[in-house]
Structure 1
C-alpha cells in the first residue's frame, strides 16, 4: 500500500519548501498539489500555480513522486500543457505523475468568464486523448469538437516512456472508461455525503463499477493502480493516528493500492496537528509499506 500526501499551493515558498522536503523525509510515496486557479473556501486566500510549485518541489527532493491533483480542461489546453509536463518530467528526473480530472463548476470556470460545459465528460475524454498523443508521438495533428493541434512537436519527449503516467479521476462510467483506456492509475473521491459509513459503502460500490469497466475491455485489474482520496470522507483522515490507520486499512481491503491524505492546515478545511502527521509517519506508514 502506497500512501501519498497533498500539500496545498497556498504558502510562500519559504514556508512551503520544508513541507515538500518533509513529505519525502517522513516516508510518503507521493506528494501532490491542487491544480486550480483558486479553490472553494480558500479562493480569497493566498494561492500559487501548480506547475511552478511542483518544479520547485522537484528541485528540493530526490525520490518522492510528484503530481497534479488534478489537472483539468477548465483552464488548460493539451498543447501547452504537454510542454509543461515534458519539462517537469525532465526536471524531476522521471518522478512526475499527472493526475487528470474532468473539472466541475466553480472558480476555475467562473473566473475566466465561462459557464460549466454541458459536455464536460466528453470534453475531458478528448482532452486526455489529445494529451496522450502529444506526449507519445513526434508530431501530432488533431481536430476534435473541443481541441485542435497542428503539427505539434514533442521533442525531446518524456523521461518516462512511453510518457508520464496518468492517474485519472473518475466516479461515473464515462470518466471510468477514460481511466481504463489511458490511465496507469485511477483515483476516486467516493460519493458526496455527510455520513461516514455511507461514504465507505459508496466507495466500495464505485470500486466494483471499476472492476466491471476493466472486465469490459479485458484489462487485468493488476495493471491499474487504484488511488483513494481519504479526505473526501466526511471525517478528516488525520483526525487521529488510529483513524488514519483504520482508513488506510479499509482502503486496502477494498483493493486500493494507494491512499492520499492532506497536510494539516492551521484552520478551516483539513485543519489538524502536524504532531499527528509525524506520528502517522513513524507508526503507520511502515505498517503499510509496499513489499520490496
Structure 2
C-alpha cells in the first residue's frame, strides 16, 4: 500500500496556513510535512516561520494525519533541547509526529550561526546527532560525551507517546549515512539522484528518465545497506521508503498525469511513501492547486496500489 504526503512550506501566517493543514487531512493525505530551516534558497528574502511551533499548531487543528520535519539537521540544532521539542511535538500530536532527519546542506543554515562545517564534519555530526537523539528519546535520563555533543543528566520525562520513541525518517545518500539509516531509522527518505540540470528545459522527458534510472541505483544501494545491517544477527524491520517526487527535474504537480505516473513508478521501485509539495504561485514548486486537489481525489486508488517487494 502506498502512503501519500504533502509538504507545506512555512511561509504563510498561521491565520492562512491552518486551513491548508486541515485541508491536507480532510483530503486524505497520509502525512504532511514542513521544512526545518532558518531560511531557504531562493525564498531566503521572503517570509519563513519556525518549524516547531508551526507543527505544534498543525497538530492542534488535526486529528489523524501524521506530521513531520522534512528534514531537521544538526546545522543549527543541539540534540538535547531539540529532543525536548520532539517530546513536546509527539505529545501535542498524540504520537503522530515523524522526525525527519538529515545531515544538513551547504545553504543558508550552514553558516548563519558560525562558519560552515566541512562535508566530513557534517556527516560525523549527523551520526552523533542521531545516536544521542535515540538515547535521549528512549530513556528518562542520559549521560553522553561525544566529539561534538554532550548531555549530562538530560531528562526526557515522561517519554514519547510513540513507542519505543518517535520514528526517525532519515535522509541518506551515501554508504555511511545509508548504514546509519539502516541501523537507527524507521524510514529512509530521498530526493533521488543529483545531477547537472543543464538541458532540462530543452528535453525535460530525457532528464526525468535519467533521474528515474539514477533513483533505481540509489534504491539498490539502500537495499545493500539494509542487508548489511541485518548481518549482525539483528531482526531490524524493513524501513519504510519515502520519496520526494520533487527531487525530479520536473515538478511533480506540473500535471495530474505526471503526479500519478510518479506515484506508480515509485511504488514499482519499492517506495512505500511518496511526497509532493503544495504548489506555490510562482518560483520553485510553482503550479496549480487544482492539480493537488485532483491528486487528492485519486488518493483511495493510490493508497491501495501494491508496492514492489525489494
TM-score normalised to structure 2 length: 0.91
- Tell me the CA shift for residue 169 of structure 1: 0.3
Contact 1:126–1:146, Cα closer than 8 Å, also in 2: yes
Residue matched to 1:35: 36
- Tell me the CA shift for residue 16 of structure 1: 0.6
Contact 1:214–1:220, Cα closer than 8 Å, also in 2: no
> Matches of 2:64 and 2:229 in 1, distance apart?
34
Residue matched to 2:227: 215
Identify which of 230, 239, 248 aligns with 1:224: 239
Matched, 1:150 2:152: yes
- Tell me the CA shift for residue 177 of structure 1: 0.8
Residue matched to 2:73: 72
Per-residue CA shift, 1:52-108, capped at 9, x if unaligned? Answer: 000000011000000000000000000000001001100111110000000011100
Residue matched to 1:163: 165
Matched, 1:277 2:277: no
Higher mean Cα deviation, 96-105 or 110-119?
110-119
Contact 2:104–2:122, Cα closer than 8 Å, also in 1: yes
- Tell me the CA shift for residue 30 of structure 1: 0.1
Partner-residue secondary structure (3-state), 1:246? helix
Identify which of 179, 199, 203 aligns with 2:211: 199
Residue matched to 2:178: 176
- Tell me the CA shift for residue 114 of structure 1: 1.7
Matched, 1:81 2:82: yes
> Matches of 2:153 and 2:287 in 1, distance apart?
49
> Matches of 1:236 and 1:220 in 2, distance apart?
38
Partner-residue secondary structure (3-state), 1:85? helix
Residue matched to 1:121: 123
Contact 1:3–1:30, Cα closer than 8 Å, also in 2: yes
> Matches of 1:4 and 1:83 in 2, distance apart?
25
Residue matched to 1:58: 59
Matched, 1:237 2:237: no
Partner-residue secondary structure (3-state), 2:137? helix
Contact 2:181–2:187, Cα closer than 8 Å, also in 1: yes
- Tell me the CA shift for residue 34 of structure 1: 0.1
- Tell me the CA shift for residue 220 of structure 1: 6.9
RMSD: 1.3
> Matches of 1:244 and 1:220 in 2, distance apart?
35
- Tell me the CA shift for residue 222 of structure 1: 5.8
Per-residue CA shift, 1:127-172, capped at 9, x if unaligned? Answer: 0000000000111100110111011111010011110000000111
Contact 2:179–2:229, Cα closer than 8 Å, also in 1: no
The equivalences for 1:101-140 within 5 A come to 101-117=102-118, 118-140=120-142
> Matches of 2:148 and 2:286 in 1, distance apart?
39
Matched, 1:255 2:267: no
- Tell me the CA shift for residue 116 of structure 1: 2.6
Contact 1:211–1:221, Cα closer than 8 Å, also in 2: no
Per-residue CA shift, 1:178-205, capped at 9, x if unaligned? Answer: 1001100000111113321111111100
Per-residue CA shift, 1:231-250, capped at 9, x if unaligned? Answer: 01001111111100000000
Partner-residue secondary structure (3-state), 1:286? helix
